[in-house]
Amino acid sequence: MTDKLDVILIGAGHNGLVCANYLAKAGRKVLVLEAGDSPGGAAASREFAPGYSVSSCAQWLYQLHSGVSRDLDLERHGLQWAARELPSLLLDTRGRHLSLLGSRIDGEGVSDGDREAWRAFHARTGKYVKLLARVFESRPPNLVEAGLVDRLNLLKMGLGLKLLGRDDMSELMRIILTNMYDLAEEYFDNPQLKSLLGFDSVLGSRMGPRTPNTVFTYLYRRLGEAYGYNGVAQVKGGMGALAQALAASARARGVELRLGARVTSIDMFNGRAGGVSLASGEQFRAAVVVSGADPVTTYGTLVGLRNMETGMARRVSQIRCAGAAAKLHLALNAAPRFTGLDESQLGQRLVIAPDLNYLERAFNAVKYDEYSAAPALDISVPTINDPGGAPAGCHVLSAIVQFAPYEPAGGWEGPSTAAGATHREHFTRLILDKIAEYAPGIRDQVVACQLLTPQDIERDYGMRGGHWHHAEMSLDQVLMMRPFPGATQYGSGLDGLYLCGAGAHPGGGVMGLAGRNAAREIIRRGARA
Amino acid sequence: MKSASDATMMLRTPFHSRVAAACELNAWGTWKGYTTPTAYTDVELEYFAIRSTAGVFDLSPMNKYRITGPDAEAYLNRLVTRDVSKIRAGRVGYTVWCNDAGQVMDDGTIFHLGENDYRVCAFARATDWLHWSALGFDVEVVDESDEVAALAVQGPTSCAALLAMGLVGLEQLKPFGLTMFPFEGGTLMVSRTGFTGDLGYELWIAADKAELLWDRLFEAGRPHLIKPFGSDALDMARIEAGFLQAGVDFVPAESAVRSGRSRSPYELGLGWLVDMDKPVFNGRKALLREQARGSRYRFAMLDVDGNKPASHSFILSGGKKVGTVTSAAWCPTAKTNVAFAQLEMPHGDVGQELVAEIYYQRELQWTRVMAPCRVIGAPVFNPPRRRAVPPGAF
Amino acid sequence: MKKYDAIVIGAGHNGLTNAAYLAKSGLDVAVLERNPYIGGATVSRELHRGWTYSNCSYVCSLLRPEIARDLELPRHGLQVVPYGGGVTFMRNGDYYGNYYDHNRQYREMARHSKRDANAYERYTTDVMKQTRLIRPYLLRRPPDPTSLKPRDLRDLLGFARSFMEMGEEGLADTLRFWTKSVGDYLNEYFETDAIKAHLGGTGVIGTALGVYSPGTAYVLLHHYMGDVDGNVGSWGFARGGMGAVAAALEKSFRAFGGEVICDADVDRIIVRHGKVRGVALKNGDEYLADIVVSNLDPRRTFLDVMDEGDLSAELLHRARNFKIRGSSGKLNIALDGLPSFHGLDKSSPLMVGDMHFTDSLERLERAYDDWKDGTWSKDPYVDMLIPTQTDPTMAPPGKHMMTVFVQYAPPKINGGEWTDADKAGFEKSVIDQIAAHSPDFRDLILHCETRTPREIEAETGLTEGNIFQGELTFDQLLFNRPFPGYSQYRGPVRGMYMCGSGTHPGGGVMAAPGANAAREILRDLRRPDVVPGGYADD
């Protein structure tokens, strides 16, 4: 079959498809091998109950890089919006919600002082977001063995820092390693505002708002602002539709995409990656192999730790990639009724996280491999803006739930403290109870229910640990330390093998930069058959 | 569960009762916390026992690791720089191992005991690294340092002494060969290896049979003028034979705090142990880079004029410091004043003339000697009996 | 009225060090102390007849040897005696011991795990790499990265160079070390809970962070970078209690002609026309000087003794939000004899060092969860020592003094002040924990002084009882300590300086902030630098 491949790319996740697209655009012959039956990886839509489908992993789009969308011409390839510029609502049991969209803040309890403080805070942090966004658009620089590109990037970074001005620069250097809890306390009075900021800073992470590092994850979350987003957006047809557009664009460029092709090993030839073997027994050879899979899978399973040097194997085994977020899907026979929300607000991003201490306590559990007794939730009712996902008049509720351990003691199917209930059942009940505090009567509307634990996410999407970001977005695992020192700038540290997934710089989120930056780096290094 | 305070924490080797009885000088040192003699009777005489009759050294404190399992060979091949598949069963191989940066962590020997069964004998502790290295391999790594006792029997009459002990056929054992003998219901492993550069063997036995082995050996060896020796005599012999010692001639890579203080195999003159045909082994990528860019240092053996050992000397070329001495000794058999030096590249070509800045002290008066010296290409002591099979009568 | 050249507020070890150097350079200096005795938190007190309590700080390692030598502290009576040992008692009746000697330490660790025992060698190497990086900066002012002044640029360049020498991966490992939690860091080396807990405790001592909080690996360093006679990382007692450090500093200061005035409670720093003029006491007395140095923590300095009108809004905001975070308490106990502990012989050298009862990182972290919840740890982490096994001066022969540092204790209980009932509950949780491992402990107690953050603050003036005068988190370290733009010991008005642990390089009985501040003051006065630089660490 396909002789003279330049590149074999493992995994048709969004980063893989973006990377393949850019490589093909530069004239490389690329074969993408995807284990699943549809492209997209964690950008997927699935039917979880008859007639009900949902964006089964990622649910909002808020940071897809504008340059990537433009270069790939995604709208021409079928990307449509169900809704854009959706605010985030921090829910209140009495219906006194707080609404946040960009610098705009609304809510009953918001004082003028907080309003002013928020505007100032939003503007100042917005500058940091822009600076970060620029850093993320290029490969992470080497500092010691810096080449010309690195020196230029460093110069740009340094210049960007200086251009912030003395005050903003020193403030950035003060806060960048700190936690959102203290920062929010420093700036604001309104507990709802503080909590929403706290929530955004820990979403998808194994961190609580008091965890130093959460200011960085907060800024990371806001990256989309530099790429043209304000608030979150919802893709028509769910994230699976985005995947279809990405796949269509890649195919149009000449990328060959094979679905149902599970790669079982990356084959090394005299210490160099030069091909892959599939579960079917088929083998392919190419000048370079690019992996969009998470780093632990890439190194540990596909290459095999024995095929690299001990220090590297040790680094791989020390990557922290245990997920802490679960996903709950509810099939509802009618629109849910949240206290104090009208129909239009129901389509917005609904957050349950009453205050910072609540959030912190929810986090405590996962440190000990337990799930939160009172979890925090990021809820979407996608069928409000996009009714196609459920039978007429019916609705889907999809929620990111924090915090859930990778595996509680005894396993998810093991017995919990609640009589007769497994951990899975018990946690599901706890989440429903929590939602019901805000949407009384929701239990009677539930037709079907699915809980995806980190372990389920690992199984369904091939992400080790079930972590959305492939590896924790902690400061010791970003930039040149992502996924680990020695495997930076998209080169894996192994000849012939490159990384293009969320486990590489800049990290997770449906952003596409890891894929694009990787493609540029591969082209720069000139690998061809 | 042993309690830490139930003992004095002064560790004793399985031979201790016999060693203590023989240690007439009462000159003790510690090795890895074990009480070990620096000398038994007289350092010079012990040294000459190694070179002229047979000397016995208790090397039980060495670190011994057993590697077993279907991936044992592949595991070792990734671990060390040599091609382990070339060490056949019944053979022993000297090798070094490096970290990913291509810096030497230790040198040691690999004993191929049988199918999928190896023992690694190392100077520095390696449990942690050996376990990390086992990721992805189907092997079992067991630290058997405390369970296996060992004696080195070195010198011209060593074979005769061991034959007298009843080790029939030992004379046929080739250098770096190993063989097993039944011993008091257990097994005695004998390898033709050592750290003295002479004809010699190392005996490996379960700790509970150690004292018995010592007794048998000295009984059978008496007519062959067998004699125990301590670490001081060993140091003279190993320098004469050109052997490096971890912690003395190089800093084990992962214990170097300061950057740039560790050394690669090439920089230690051990490049011959590196097999680049192996696709993956620890340090390969870094060593390939070093081959391309050049090394920073070179290990050199120096023949130093005069009889003052050049310990800790600076080595000068044209009045400029180009290196330092790591080990030095006057070698009584070769009648040569030998020093091991770390020289900055490009110094160290065989034949290069250098100067050693030696300081020595006599009755509290310090004297400086600028001793001319030259780089030599081979150890000064390397007798044919070391290789002969059978070794012949002394 | 007499006018001094300089006035130092607070006779803690940094205030005295600062004053000593100013006096050494020939200035006329007075130190004003609120209490009737000197020392601040570096103090010895006889609170039970015949017993000397080091009732705040209790061990001595970080005190810079350059300063001790330069100020002739030994001649003025200071003797620091190293101690070995250390033990963590485990719930299963076993213990993990810490020995001074490398081989002995290996053996004890190997009793729990041979792999850990070997990994400890790598761990020590790696931590030493980080220690070597930071030590040269202890006796220097931190460079300001936003500044373009030649001195700052030169310092920054030097800093960058020491980074570059580590190589690409070494540098990445350094960044990882600075951003990691001590728990994650230890998990990369060890498998045994008790070993991890024993080592991890030092990563959270004095801070309001848990062992899983990023940034705590660095705090580990604050407990490794000291030395006693060049043995990096080892610890000692000041003979006669920690007050001996302050006493020696005071004698040294007086020998240079300085004056210490006790019972002098400063009300405010007098500022006129943007310049310091002196200080006014609560009793109305005034002392004049063109230079006033505050050894108080940043919050007290700016919010208590300075006038709001003299400060910018930005600085006030910074001072109000400076993270102090009281997190610890203390029990000082007079004992009728040496207590016995399960599984350990009374003659064991392990008992001479620091003792702990927390045998897993999880228990350490759960202790922190209580702090976050606004209450003291129900299963606390203690750092307990019986210095009278080493120092015979602190209790009558055969009797003992025990110091128990306790983590965590919040500055407020559920938002309210500590009550006496809270204090009793706190004390009980500590005594219960010790007694669970020591059958005769309760019966040996002759006197117990319990100090929550409330008591520590009341006596020493340390806000919230924080022993470091402010958290050692990255936002408050180096050029950020105490605030960006004020890290080089100069205050916001001319003639005003800071010299406490709230400035670089931070807390611990190190005396470096005091010395560094003196250097900057002398520089501003264009006087010769009499403050020693650090010994070369080669």
Q: DSSP states of B231-242 as a string? A: HHHHHHHHHHHT
CB contact under 8 A, A476 and C176: yes
Q: Could you tell me which chain A residue has the CA closest to the CA of C480?
A: A174
Helix (H) or strand (E) holding C446: strand C445-451
Q: Is the pLDDT of residue A155 over 70?
A: yes
Per residue in C327-378, pLDDT (tens digit) is 999 999 999 999 999 999 988 999 999 999 999 999 999 999 999 999 999 9
Q: Does B125 touch chain C (CB under 8 A)?
A: yes
- The answer to whether B84 contacts chain A (CB < 8 Å) is no
Domain shared by C266 and C219, yes or no:
no
In the predicted model, is pLDDT for residue B109 greater than 90?
yes
Which residues of chain B lie closer than 8 angstroms to C167, CB-CB? 259
> Alpha-carbon distance C176 to A477, whole Å?
8
Q: What is the pLDDT of residues C94-135, one digit of tens each?
A: 999 998 888 889 999 999 999 999 999 999 999 999 988 888
Whether B286 has its CB under 8 Å from any CB of chain C: the answer is no
Span(s) in chain B for CATH 3.30.1360.120: 4-62+146-241
Q: What is the pLDDT of residues B75-94, one digit of tens each?
A: 999 999 999 999 999 999 99
CB atoms within 10 A of CB C385: 26
What type of residue is B155? G
What is the 8-class DSSP label of residue C377?
A: -
Q: Cβ separation of C175 and A481 shorter than 8 Å?
A: yes
Domain assignment present for residue C536? The answer is no
Taking residues B180-201, what's their average pLDDT? Answer: 97
The per-residue pLDDT for A54 is 96
Same domain, residue pair C64 and C143: no
Q: Are A13 and A292 a contacting pair, CB within 8 Å?
A: yes
- Tell me: pLDDT of B155 over 60: yes
Q: What is the mean pLDDT of residues C392-417?
A: 97
Which A-chain residues 473-502 have CB contacts (< 8 A) with chain C? 474-476, 480-481, 485-486, 488
Whether C272 and C151 share a structural domain: no
Q: Are residues C279 and C378 in the same domain?
A: no
Tell me the CATH number at C487.
3.50.50.60
Cβ contacts (< 8 Å) between C111 and chain B: which residues? Answer: 1-4
C533 assigned to some structural domain: no
Q: Is residue C186 one of the residues assigned to a domain? A: yes
In a domain, C151, yes or no: yes
Amino acid at A353: A
| Rounded CA separation A92/A340 (Å) | 9
- The whole-angstrom separation of Cα B101 and Cα B265 is 11
Residues C33 and C134 in one domain: no
Residue B1 has pLDDT above 70, yes or no: no
* Type of residue at C210: G
- Inter-chain residue contact C372 with A210, CB threshold 8 Å: yes
Confidence label for C228 from pLDDT (cuts 50, 70 and 90): low
Determine, yes or no, domain membership for C180. Answer: yes
Site from A309, A312, A492 to mutate, B interface, most B CB atoms within 10 angstroms: A309
Cα separation of A347 and A60, whole Å? 12
Q: Does C186 touch chain B (CB under 8 A)?
A: no
**C187 and C162 in one domain?**
yes
Interchain pair C345, B256: CB under 8 A: no
Q: Check whether A74 has a pLDDT greater than 70.
A: yes
Identify the sign of the CA torsion A109, A114, A115, A119.
negative
Within this chain, do residues C518 and C454 fall inside the same structural domain, yes or no?
no
| Domain identity same for C225 and C368 | yes
Which has more confidence, B8 or C92? C92
Set of chain A residues whose Cβ sits within 8 Å of the Cβ of C471:
none
- pLDDT at A529 (0 to 100): 67
Which pLDDT score, from 0 to 100, does residue B120 have? 98
Domain boundary (C419, C445, C463) is at: C463
Q: Which two tokens stand for residue A155?
A: 């110069």
Neighbours of chain A (3+ CB pairs under 8 A): B, C
By the CB < 8 Å criterion, does B258 face chain C? yes
Chains that touch B (3 or more CB pairs under 8 A): A, C
Q: How far apart are CA B272 and CA B279, in angstroms?
A: 17
Quick one: C280 and C344 in the same domain? no
The answer to whether residues C309 and C448 belong to one domain is no
Residues of chain B with CATH 3.30.70.1400: 63-143
State the helix-helix crossing angle for A214-221 and A191-202, rounded to 10 degrees: 90
For C68, the domain range is 3-42+60-79+239-322+472-524
In a domain, C538, yes or no: no
∠ CA C134-C136-C140, nearest 5°, is 105
- Which residues of chain C lie closer than 8 angstroms to B131, CB-CB? 115
Residue type, C476: Q
Chain C hits for A210, CB-CB cut-off 8 Å, are 213, 372
Whether A305 and chain B come into contact, CB under 8 Å, resolves to yes
Rounded CA Rg of chain B = 21
Within 146-205 of B, beta carbons closer than 8 Å to A belong to: none
Residues C340, C454 within the same domain: yes
pLDDT in tens, C298-341: 999 999 999 999 999 999 999 999 999 999 999 999 999 999 99
What is the fold, at CATH topology level, of the domain defined by B296-378?
Elongation Factor Tu (Ef-tu); domain 3 (2.40.30)
Tell if the CB–CB gap between B129 and A310 is shorter than 8 Å. yes
What does the alpha-carbon distance between residue C39 and residue C258 come to, in Å, rounded to a whole number?
16
Amino acid at the residue B374? R
Maximum Cα interatomic distance, chain B, rounded to a whole number of Å: 64
Residue C304: the pLDDT is: 96
Q: Which of residues C415, C444, C463 is at a domain's end?
A: C463
Please tell me which residue of chain B has the smallest CA distance to A307.
Answer: B280
Q: Which residue of B has its CA nearest to C162?
A: B259
Average pLDDT, chain B: 96
Q: Is the residue at C351 inside a domain?
A: yes
Render pLDDT for A238-285 as a digit per residue (tens, 0 to 9).
999 999 999 999 999 999 999 999 999 999 999 999 999 999 999 999
Mutate: best of B77, B285, B289, B293, partner A, most A CBs <10 A: B285
Per-residue model confidence (pLDDT) at position B6: 43
State how far the Cα of C52 lies from the Cα of C243, in Å rounded to an integer: 10
User: Are C118 and B254 in contact (CB < 8 Å)?
Assistant: no
Give the pLDDT confidence score for residue C161 in this predicted structure.
86
The alpha-carbon radius of gyration of chain A (Å, integer) is 22
Looking at per-residue confidence, does C135 or B145 come out higher? Answer: B145
Chain A residue numbers touching C176 (CB-CB < 8 A): 476, 481, 485
Which residue of B lies nearest to A308 if distances are taken between CA atoms? Answer: B280
CATH superfamily of B4-62+146-241: Probable tRNA modification gtpase trme; domain 1 (3.30.1360.120)
Whole-number average pLDDT of chain A? 95
A211:C214 CB<8 A: yes
Question: Distance, in angstroms, between A517 CA and closest chain C CA?
Answer: 21
Are C437 and C357 spatial neighbours (Cβ–Cβ below 8 Å)?
Answer: yes
Mean pLDDT of A387-411: 97
Total structural domains in chain C?
A: 2
- Tell me the C-alpha to C-alpha distance, in Å, between residue C141 and each of A167, C145, C319, C513: 20, 12, 20, 9
State mean pLDDT over C255-268.
98
C-alpha B247/C-alpha B253 separation (Å) is: 10
Instruction: Name the region of C166 (left: φ>0; alpha: ψ -120 to 50; beta: rest).
Output: alpha
Question: For chain A, which domains are there?
Answer: 5-82+234-320+463-525 (3.50.50.60), 114-230 (no CATH), 325-405+408-452 (3.30.519)
Nearest neighbour of A170 by CB, restricted to C164, C167, C484: C484
Structure letter (DSSP) for residue A393: T
Whether the predicted pLDDT of C223 surpasses 60 = yes
pLDDT at C220: 83
- Neighbouring-strand partners of residue C382: C406
Binary contact (B9, C107; C-beta < 8 A): yes
Residue ending a domain, among C463, C491, C510, is C463
Residues C283 and C385 in one domain: no
Chain B nearest-CA residue for C538: B258
Quick check: B4 pLDDT over 80?
no
Name the residue among B126, B143, B255 with its Cβ closest to that of C125.
Answer: B255
CA distance B57 to B22: 12
Q: Give Cα separations from B233 to B124, B250, B259, B353, B362 (angstroms).
A: 21, 21, 33, 29, 22
Are B136 and A312 an interchain contact pair (Cβ–Cβ within 8 Å)?
A: no
The pLDDT tens digits for A455-493 are 999 999 999 999 999 999 999 999 999 999 999 999 999
> Superfamily assignment of B63-143 in CATH?
Aminomethyltransferase beta-barrel domains (3.30.70.1400)
Tokens standing for A528? 């061809």
Beta bridge partners of A107: A98
Report yes or no: A485 at the B interface, CB cutoff 8 Å.
no
